[in-house]
Structure 1
Amino acid sequence: MLTCKRSAFTLPPRITYLNCGYMSPQLKDAEKVGIRNLRRKRNPASIKPEDFFNDTELLRQEFAKLIHAPDPKRIVTVPSVSYGMANVARNLKIGRGDNMIVAAEQFPSNYYPWHRLCEETGAQLKSIAPPEAFTGRGQKWNERILDAIDINTKAVALGHVHWVDGTLFDLAAIRRRTREVGAVLIVDGTQSVGALPFDMQAFEPDALVCAGYKWLLGPYSTGLAYYGEYFDHGKPIEESWLNRAHSEQFSQLTNYQSTYQEGALRYEVGEHSNFVLVPMLLKSIQQLNRWGVSNIQEYCGHISREPILTLREKGFLIEDEAHRAKHLFGIRLGQHDPEKIKTQLLKNNVYVSYRGNAIRVAPNVYNTEKDLKKFATLISR
């Protein structure tokens, strides 16, 4: 099992940071890479044409390794989840009489594109809510989603986990059902990829989009997206010179090309060569691959197991382990006063998030069991 990796980060010693679902701290090594590459533009003569492509290619390979994707060329850099989803929305075949399914209260970047698309096309957007009763909530929520998929469903858009409380969505079962009706599966992996194992060959989503600044431990304003065969002949949302065929040949750029780069590469953001952010994200994902995502998930489960038992004994509601992630989980307060809890945590420099009606706790490898026990003791008072 992994040991605590706090020394790899520069977190202030007096804070207890249980909030990676909000934003990860920066790895020391990634910070060094960013500073070095920021200084590189002092002398632009040192930046060669091949440098526009080299780090991006390495980033594709490392991310492919992380998600078990056989073809790195299906992975592109994006500045945000909303950008990656906009490419999907532009090329999704849906119309009047069709429907699209999302989970209730999922993150806005994985809701607004579909809301607008359905308004414009006359399709129905179906938001599937969890049961009100807490017992068996995660399992029943998945069952509701599966039951909602019918012959008129053209797409299902979900996270691997729900961003508020870590409820796991059974992507393998949902993929099987979408295959039966010919629907597209779109996954926002922002709150899972990097801490929860994601197997592209097992889930086979048509699109996977991830922001880089949370569980991928990268900088803000960069992320990654995977686009499957469904999108191979689509139109990107912007016309970047880098996304056209033969863009590697700088001396021939005025020989305008009518064709895009093959397959998914057409969807890459303009200026995707970002000489600061791309090397930083690359360094972070290399570190995640060395640690191993399954080891990170196991570590988070190990340090939170006893504190969660304590909280349940005090009357707090937490989803059963079989139906939630270990790196991100929601705590519903029952009869406890949320404002008193928030005050108590801030007073003691404990950082979590408050999402919906849950306290969202999101530990990572820089945390220890002691951190979680401190949190549990404070909110139990």
Structure 2
Amino acid sequence: MMDLAALRAATPGLADGQVFLDSAGSSLPPKIVTDTVVAHLRREAEIGGYRAANERIDDLAAVKTSIATLIGATPDSIALSDSASRSWADFAYSVPLRPGDRVLISEADYASNAIAALQRAARTGAVVERIPSDDTGRLDTDALAAMLDERVKLVSLQHAPTNGGLVNPVGEATRIAHEAGALVLLDACQSIGQLPIDVAALGVDALSATGRKWLRGPRGTGFLYVRAELAETMEPARLDLHSASWVSPTEYRLAPDASRFEFWECDVAARLGLGAAVDYLLGLGADAVYAAVAERADHLRKTLPELPGVTVHDLGTEHSGIVSFTVDGHDPIAVRDRLAEHAVTVTVSHASSTLLDMTGRALPAIVRASPHYFVSTDDLDRCAAELARVIG
């Protein structure tokens, strides 16, 4: 059982009494994360960035170990980056494509992924196709199986989309894709830190994630997981003296593991903060965190529809910690801003972020609430009460 009072006391952002429901955007870091980042920045100011980084070499290596522990991987299969989008693109742009090859994306795919896939296809002569959703809104695995052939080189799966509580059947979809010889890249940007992820059990070839959302880490952090035996065979689209070694005037040698997807220059303080965030989650007990997030989101899903004119738009049969809704006669941006006036933080997800899904459902925008484990039931009820005031 987590000590909610202690967790809230360790979250400075809650000191002003706000109800924070935007961990799907950029969560409130615990004090240990902020302290870790600031302490290293101060150390850099004292002795310079190089010496300060050298003092923390072991700690930087431990960041990968902590991430690997969280997702059931090995440290050498983890590459640190500055975002989930960077991680996703770094892998996707490294998959060889030729004219006529096919890339499959889900209807819930995020705009950054779709744009990168479309650009890559345009440059290589490949094509991008959508995988339909089933009647519940989940990725249709039967449709996926029917689409697959030897020309499908990459299948992009969205574990939990940015615009609602849908959770896709990643393990089943991966198994089907692998039967046709396709690689599977999982976007776990909205699931890492709030849903259980075991890369071995899911079987995915690569996974992209961010630090700033449910992990409660700093902005400008993320990571890429690449299946170890696959990483050894791939050449990233961009290299530097960290991802490869210059061994002769005309020759370079790639790093032997997933670090070939990293660049040397990075925000050391932020990466140390990411490690602190992952260790904080592991210390609480990941399963306890996942259960708490699910409980709070479920409370909102039951409470919000009781308000007149409020419709919850979450798809699927299994749900994440994201709760999406609209209010009849009220623009989502106006709802967000009115709630902010009363210290309730939510955000808005626009159709431009998940174009295929939201256009198909005729939703130009939705309000998104995403309560983390540090949110209390009283907070959730206060959100509902303030929303009732907005409705009038």
Task: Give the TM-score normalised by structure 2.
Answer: 0.84
Equivalent AA in structure 1 for residue 162 of structure 2: W
1:328·1:362 contact (CA, 8 Å) conserved in 2? yes
Q: Deviations over 1:222-274 (max 9, x none)?
A: 211111233323223433222335x9xxxxx99997212202121112224x4
Aligned with 2:184: secondary structure?
strand
Q: Deviations over 1:111-137 (max 9, x none)?
A: 222111111122221134547xxxx53
Give the percent of matched residue pairs that are identical in Structure 1 and Structure 2.
22
1:193 correspondence with 2:192: yes
Map of 1:31-42 to 2, 5 A cutoff? Answer: 31-41=34-44, 42=46
2:32·2:276 contact (CA, 8 Å) conserved in 1? yes
Q: Deviations over 1:268-310 (max 9, x none)?
A: 12224x4311211111110011112221121122234333222
Distance 1:142-1:161 versus aligned 2 partners, 3 A rule: farther
Equivalent AA in structure 2 for residue 199 of structure 1: D
State the partner residue of 2:60: 56
1:193·1:215 contact (CA, 8 Å) conserved in 2? yes
Map of 1:12-161 to 2, 5 A cutoff? Answer: 12-41=15-44, 42-44=46-48, 47=51, 51=55, 53-69=57-73, 71-104=74-107, 106-128=109-131, 130=133, 136-139=135-138, 141-143=139-141, 146-147=144-145, 149-151=147-149, 152-161=151-160
Give the alignment's Cα RMSD to 1 decimal.
Answer: 2.7
Tell me how far apart the structure 1 counterparts of residues 243 and 337 of structure 2 sit (CA, whole Å): 50
Equivalent AA in structure 1 for residue 58 of structure 2: N
Matching residue within 302, 307, 316 for 2:311? 316
Map of 1:1-381 to 2, 5 A cutoff? Answer: 1-4=1-4, 5-11=7-13, 12-41=15-44, 42-44=46-48, 47=51, 51=55, 53-69=57-73, 71-104=74-107, 106-128=109-131, 130=133, 136-139=135-138, 141-143=139-141, 146-147=144-145, 149-151=147-149, 152-228=151-227, 229-244=229-244, 258-272=252-266, 274-314=267-307, 316-319=311-314, 322-325=317-320, 327-333=321-327, 335-338=328-331, 341-356=335-350, 357-380=365-388, 381=391
2:241·2:263 contact (CA, 8 Å) conserved in 1? no
2:132·2:140 contact (CA, 8 Å) conserved in 1? no
Equivalent AA in structure 1 for residue 213 of structure 2: K
Tell me how far apart the structure 2 counterparts of residues 52 and 259 of structure 1 sit (CA, whole Å): 26
Tell me how far apart the structure 2 counterparts of residues 307 and 191 of structure 1 sit (CA, whole Å): 18
Quote how far apart the aligned CAs of 1:165 are. Answer: 0.6
Quote how far apart the aligned CAs of 1:77 are. Answer: 0.8
Distance 1:351-1:45 versus aligned 2 partners, 3 A rule: closer
Tell me how far apart the structure 1 counterparts of residues 97 and 249 of structure 2 sit (CA, whole Å): 36
Tell me how far apart the structure 2 counterparts of residues 51 and 129 of structure 1 sit (CA, whole Å): 51
State the partner residue of 2:353: none
Quote how far apart the aligned CAs of 1:2 are. Answer: 2.6
State the partner residue of 1:250: none
Tell me how far apart the structure 1 counterparts of residues 299 and 28 of structure 2 sit (CA, whole Å): 25
1:95·1:121 contact (CA, 8 Å) conserved in 2? yes
1:167·1:329 contact (CA, 8 Å) conserved in 2? no
Deviates more, 1:43-52 or 1:255-264: 43-52
Distance 1:105-1:320 versus aligned 2 partners, 3 A rule: closer
Aligned length: 366
Equivalent AA in structure 1 for residue 234 of structure 2: G
Tell me how far apart the structure 1 counterparts of residues 299 and 64 of structure 2 sit (CA, whole Å): 38
Tell me how far apart the structure 1 counterparts of residues 146 and 119 of structure 2 sit (CA, whole Å): 21
1:208·1:226 contact (CA, 8 Å) conserved in 2? yes
Equivalent AA in structure 1 for residue 232 of structure 2: D
Gaps of at least 5 residues in structure 2 are 351-364
Aligned with 1:230: secondary structure?
helix
Deviates more, 1:221-230 or 1:236-245: 236-245
Q: Deviations over 1:319-341 (max 9, x none)?
A: 3673321x2122244x3523563
Gaps of at least 5 residues in structure 1 are 248-252
Task: Give the TM-score normalised by structure 1.
Answer: 0.87
2:43·2:52 contact (CA, 8 Å) conserved in 1? no
Distance 1:89-1:322 versus aligned 2 partners, 3 A rule: closer
Deviates more, 1:220-229 or 1:339-348: 339-348
Tell me how far apart the structure 1 counterparts of residues 316 and 126 of structure 2 sit (CA, whole Å): 36
Aligned with 2:324: secondary structure?
strand
Quote how far apart the aligned CAs of 1:63 are. Answer: 0.1
Aligned with 1:330: secondary structure?
strand
Tell me how far apart the structure 1 counterparts of residues 294 and 316 of structure 2 sit (CA, whole Å): 9
Distance 1:145-1:208 versus aligned 2 partners, 3 A rule: farther
1:20·1:362 contact (CA, 8 Å) conserved in 2? yes
Quote how far apart the aligned CAs of 1:145 are. Answer: 5.6
Q: Deviations over 1:6-43 (max 9, x none)?
A: 11211142321100111011221111111211121212
